[in-house]
Each structure stands twice: as structure tokens, then as C-alpha cells.
Structure 1
Amino acid sequence: MQKLVESIFDAHGGLARWKQFETLRARLHQGGALWQLKGQAGVLDDTVVTVSTVRQWASHHPFGDTSVKSDFTAERIALVNAAGDVIDSRDAPRHSFAGHALDTPWDKLQLAFFAGCAMWTYLNTPFVLAWDGVESEDAGAWTEQGEVWRKVRVRYPKSLEVFSKVQAIYVGEDYLVRRLDYDVEIAGNTPGAHYVDEYTTVSGIRIPTKRRIYPRLADGNSTPEPLVVSIDLSDIAFV
């Protein structure tokens, strides 16, 4: 298993190179059915996301209003104005999703928590496999899109705030990530199949710029509709 993980790291630029950086930033264009379903259409359609690669932290700016940015950690979510003043916050934010289903509306802090948790995980993949307490195992071959992929089952520790503690990463024969699977526990355990494509190289690190998320069926296959979330990244930089 260690050899497989090392091959995945190497395909994406290498763990040693990744560890040279502490922060990753990108322009983010989002679409899909989720945002309107949650009553938050348009808030994060066009924004800049910044994530830490050394701790669990993320921020979106602008967050709706051009003078506001979000501040995400596992323990707290906050909205901060241009002067650096906290205008709204919530401790233990995950608890606020208790009893939520897929169609339960979010408030702004819940949107900020979801978006921060999502983008921190996405942009740190696959190097999150090297994080303390993260466990992975080879779950065998998977055939999709005319290719044979390798499925890696991932278990996250309690210390990390993620959508579900058990997830999966699929890599192609070139060891680049093709797909992520997870259940969004804070939205009624909704199962998602998250596809990545159109890689670019930034400071020697391979990063997908196109992400599309669809419903996942019980047999592991996905449905082509609805498009739950679309994410397109540009202006990617380590800062």
C-alpha cells in the first residue's frame, strides 16, 4: 500500500515538493443545483479560495459581499469584514447541521463551513494521505470511462473535519486522481461521485482544474443528472 501511495504522490509532483508550500490559492467558478437548493445561489459563483497545506484552514473572498471573507477551521466558522472584524461566527459548526436533509436550507455560516471543508479537502488531495492519522488501503480495481482505475479507501481521523470519515480516491494507470467518493453527512448522508479532469502544473504540482459532482448509486456507479456541483479553477498559485 505504501508503494501505491508513493506512486500517487510522485504522479502529482512528489510529497517533498508539496511540503515546500504552506498555502494554495485559486480563482473559483462554481455552478450546479446544490447552491439554489440550499438557498445560497450566487454567493460563491465567482470567488477566490485560499487553503492551508499545513493545517486545516480555508477562506473564500469575496463571500457574497465584496468586503467579506470566510474563515474556516474544524472548530469554528466566521465571516470577517475588510477591517478584520468578525461580523458573525459559530463554534462547533458541524452541530448546526443536525437533522439536515439534502434539501434543508443553509444560513451563511453553514454555507461557509461546507465550502471551507470541501475546498480544503479537494485542494489537499492526494497529499492529505500523508496527514497524521489518515489511513488508506488498496480497495482493488475499478473500471470506468474505458479505463481501469485503482480504488483507495481512505479513513480520516477525528481531528480532521471532512464530509465523512470513510471516503475513496480513484487513480488511473498514470496514478493521477480521477474521482473522489464521499457521503455528505451534513446533508443527509448524500452520496457523491466527484470527478476531476483537465490537470495543470503549478510550481511542479499537478492540480485538476475541472471538478464535477454527481449523485452516487448504491453499486458505486454515478448518474449523469443532476449536476450537483461544478467547480472550475484558474489563476492557481502557491502563496
Structure 2
Amino acid sequence: MTQLKDFIIKAHGGLDRWRQFEQVSADLVQGGALWSLKGLPDTLARTNVTVGLKQERASHAPFGAGNRRSRFAPERVAIEDADGAVLEELLQPRASFAGHTLQTPWTELQLAYFAGCAMWTYLNMPFLLAWPGVETEELEPWPIHSGDWRRLAVRFPANIATHSTVQTLYFDGDGLLKRHDYDVEISGNTPGAHIIEDYTEVLGIKFPTRRRIYARQPDGSFGIDPLVVSIDLSNIRLG
């Protein structure tokens, strides 16, 4: 198992290289049915995202209209103005999703929490496999038309805010992440299949630039209609 984790991390640029950086930023275009379903179709349609690599933090700017930005951490989420003054904040934000289903609308602060949590997870993967307390177990390979993908079940500790405690990662023969399955706990444990494509290399680190998320069925299959979320990244910067 350690050998598989090491192979995967090395394929994406290596842990030594990754640890030279403090954060990653990217221009972000998002679409899909989720945002309208939650009552906030345009807030994060086109923005910039920045996430921490050594601490769990994220920010989207702009965050909707008015030159605002979001601040996400597991225990607090806030919306600030351009000067950094806090306009709204929510402590222990995950608790605010109690009883939610996929159809439950979100407040802007809840959107800031979900988007921050999600993009922090995505942009730090697969290097999160080396974080303290993260446990992995190799599963049976997943057959596809071009050959099997190797799979890892990942269990996150309670201090990491992410989609679900247990997630599944799929890797191709080169060790690159190709698919990411999870159940969105804060949205009624909605199951998702997250397809990952179009890698680019930035300062020695490989990042996918195209992500598409679909509804996952109990047998692991998925259809492409509806498209739940689309994520396209460009101008990726490490610093």
C-alpha cells in the first residue's frame, strides 16, 4: 500500500516538490445543475480560487456581486468585502447542513463552505494521502475499455473537512488520478462520480484542468445526464 501511495504521489510531481509551496490559485469556471438547484446559479460561475497546501483554507474571489470574497476553514466560513472587512460569518458551518437533502437550498455562507471544502480537497489531491491520519486501502481494480484502473479507498480523520469520511480514488497505469467517488454528506449523502481529465504541469506538479461530476449509481456506474457540476481550471499558480 505504501508503494502504491508513493507511486501515485510521485506521478503527480512528488511530495518533496509539493512541500516547497504554500498555496495554489487558479481561474475557475463552473457549471452544472447543482448551483441552480441550490438557488445560487451565478455566484461562482466565473471566479478565482486559492487554497492552502499546509493548512485547510480556501478563498473564492470574486464571490458573487459587489467585489466580495469568501474565506473557508473547517470551523469558520465568512464573506468579506474588498478591504477584508467581514460582512457575514458562520461558526461551525458544517452543523448548519443538518437535515439537508440534495434539493435543500443553500445560503451564501453555506455555498462558501461547500465550495471551499470541495476545491481544497480537489487541488490538494493526491498529496492528501500523505497527511497525518489519512488511511488508505487498495481495492479491486476497476475495469474500463482501455485497461484496469487501480483503486484506493481513503478514510479521512474527523479534523479534515471534506465531502465524506470515506472516498474512492481511481488511477490509470501512469499513476494519474482519473476518477474520484464520494458521498456528499452535507447534501443528504448524495453519491457522486467525479471524472478528471486534461492534465497540465505547473512547476513540476501535475494538475487536471477539466472535472465533471455525475450522479453515481449503487453499482458504481453513472450517466452523463444530468451533469451535476462542471469545473474548468486555467492559469494555475503555485506559490
TM bucket (normalised to shorter chain) is: over 0.9
Amino acid at match of 2:155: R
Aligned residue for 1:228?
228
**2:101 maps to 1:132:** no
Cα distance in 2 for partners of 1:177, 1:39 equals 31
Residues 112-150 of structure 1 show CA distances to partners (whole Å, capped at 9, x for unaligned) of 000000000000000000011000111120012433100
Calculate the aligned-residue CA RMSD, in Å: 0.7
| Map of 2:10 onto structure 1 | 10
CA distance in 2, matches of 1:220, 1:94: 27
TM-score (norm: length of structure 2): 0.99
Q: Equivalent residues in 2 for 1:60-209 (5 A)? A: 60-209=60-209
Residue segments in structure 1 that go unaligned for 5+ positions in a row:
none
Runs of 4+ residues deviating >2 angstroms: 144-147
CA distance in 2, matches of 1:174, 1:150: 10
Match of 2:42 in 1: 42
Post-superposition Cα deviations, 1:161-183, rounded to whole Å, max 9, x if no partner, equal 01100001100011000000000
Q: Sequence identity, in percent? A: 54
Matches of 2:30 and 2:115, distance apart in 1: 11
Structure 2 residue aligned with 1:238: 238
| TM-score of the superposed pair, with normalisation by structure 1 | 0.99
Distance 1:119 1:145, change over 3 A: farther
Distance between the aligned counterparts of 2:205 and 2:152, measured in 1?
20
1:101, 1:164 → 2: CA distance? Answer: 15
What is the letter of the counterpart of residue 164 of structure 2? S
Q: Per-residue CA shift, 1:39-90, capped at 9, x if unaligned?
A: 0001101000000000000000000025210000000000011111100000
Q: Distance in 2 between matches of 1:34 and 1:144?
A: 27
Matches within 5 A, 1:15-30: 15-30=15-30
Letter aligned with residue 103 of structure 1: Q
